[in-house]
Amino acid sequence: MKRKQNIILEDLLIENYAAEGKSLAKLDGKVIFVENTVPGDVADVQLYKSKKDWAEGFPLEIKKFSEDRVDPFCAHFGVCGGCNWQMLPYNKQLEYKQQQVYDVLKRIGKVQLPELWPIIGAPETKFYRNKLEYSFSAKQFIPEVMFRQMKKEDVDFKALQEKKVAGFYAKGVFDKVVNIDKCWLQPEPTNQLRNNIAEFARQHNFSFYDFKQHAGWLRNMMVRIASTGEIMLNLVLASEDKKNMQLLFDFILNQFPQLTTLLYTINPKRNDSIYDLTPVVVKGNGFITEQLEDFRFKISPKSFFQTNTKQAERLYTIARDFAELSGKEVVYDLYCGTGSIGIFVSRKAKKIIGVEVIAEAIVDAKENAALNNISNTSFYTGDVIDICSDEFFETNGRPGVMIVDPPRAGLHVKLVEKLLQIEAPLIVYVSCNPATQARDINLLDEKYSIEKVQPVDMFPHTHHIENVMQLKLRTV
């Protein structure tokens, strides 16, 4: 028991859900956080981190399965790293997410809370994503259970691993991809596109990318499918190869005439980011159009847009309701992205001021405002903590409502200080990470009270959750 990598706790009862997809157990007053388990499971757990009052581990063997478990519907469950809650019925997922929001707000926020509104679940728990990115790889990921079995049977492991595959990187693995036959996250033709392109590439001996060697031609593909029926495919290649590109594009356009727009992006770098690269249009106009209520949004390959369209509409409706607009307010939309929330609330505001650090997103925001014939918006490029100066607020008008929708890291402490200084009467805080949201409201509690809390499930079968809060300036 001295070497923590050898600590195995046998027959450990998993008692409750913790956070970030982990469950917890208790042993002699010590809290054990365990991944890949469900409350009610009894498991032998190996610890990989052990402190005085807490530890983290993973199940070596589940001796008894929880009565709450259901059979996962995906053949790749537990291997690809996504949809890690498929073994839980959806009502239980929502129950745990609701509890997660309450727990972190109480534990980290340490503020007076109103009663949380019941979490808004997704009407569709399969095929709900409008965007997916797949990777091509010269190395196939082999799960450890399979690997141990192959060693017993003396299978040629190297030959099986060095196989051209298309799918998702395995959880915690940066250089090998899980070959996906069917993904349940996005509607067709997403699986047909991935599988057919991969098979065509194998038949024509196109090289697949090898992350460690930084070699190989076919790298990634991104599929966007809008509620309007428009479909985008962006292929990411390592280099220009006119002959093979023409072969591949002709095949895709022949097999998938329903594609609205086809693009390719050349990425010679070691990382997969395309935000500093320029997609090239092969077919169509290079973008698709998404719709929320009667608002239309131009989505280009590098645009950020909520990946669950139906739930995004509900999320934005809540943000608009929480803003309590009368038509007289100047609304600041900080971390505005492509302007979707600001545009969504614009008809009930006097003026919308959007701020976003990504320049391409601001270009999209301006185009989206024009697309919807909205003239009361202004969008600015830059870091919110740099732009939101006293002069900026003097120029654009005193804020009646602040809407903040930061990344997972939450609000910068300097922005929190500025919000406290500006004293907008009302703040709507949209968060994809209730833990950092709780940290921020603890600071904002100096002047603001929390009036409403509404969790929203954007990503069924995962532990991720969005949470919307309404904060009001105290008058006393």
Class (C level, CATH) for 4-64? mainly beta
Report the pLDDT value the prediction gives residue 312, as an integer from 0 to 100: 97
The per-residue pLDDT for range 338-390, each reduced to its tens digit, is 999 999 999 999 999 999 998 888 999 999 999 999 999 999 999 998 998 88
Please report how the helices 242-255 and 190-203 are oriented relative to each other, as an axis angle in degrees rounded to 10: 140
Catalytic residue numbers?
432
Residue 108's contacts (CB-CB under 8 Å, 6 or more residues apart) are: 435, 438, 439, 442
Sheet-wide strand order for 448-456: 377-381, 351-356, 330-334, 401-404, 426-431, 466-473, 448-456
Q: What are phi and psi of 323, to 5 degrees?
A: -70, -20
The per-residue pLDDT for range 310-336, each reduced to its tens digit, is 999 999 999 999 999 999 999 999 999
The answer to whether residues 120 and 314 touch, using CB atoms and an 8 Å cutoff, is yes
Report the pLDDT value the prediction gives residue 320, as an integer from 0 to 100: 98
Class (C level, CATH) for 131-292? mainly beta
Report the alpha-carbon distance of residue 469 to residue 322 in Å, rounded. 8
> What residue spans define the domains of the chain?
4-64, 94-124+308-473, 131-292
The answer to whether residues 231 and 244 touch, using CB atoms and an 8 Å cutoff, is no
Q: What is the mean pLDDT of the chain?
A: 93
Neighbours of 124 (CB within 10 A): 11
Answer yes or no: same fold for 4-64 and 94-124+308-473: no
Report the pLDDT value the prediction gives residue 475, as an integer from 0 to 100: 85
The per-residue pLDDT for range 37-58, each reduced to its tens digit, is 999 999 999 998 989 899 999 8
Break the chain down into helix, strand, coil percent, rounded to 5: 30, 30, 45
Among 3.40.640.10, 1.10.10.10, 3.30.70.100, 3.40.50.150, name the CATH number for the domain at 94-124+308-473.
3.40.50.150
The secondary structure of 447-475 as a DSSP string is TEEEEEEEEE--STTSS--EEEEEEEE--
- Look at residue 384 and give its three-state secondary structure: helix
In the block, tokens 């929190």 appear at: 416
Q: pLDDT confidence of 143, banded at 50, 70, 90?
A: confident
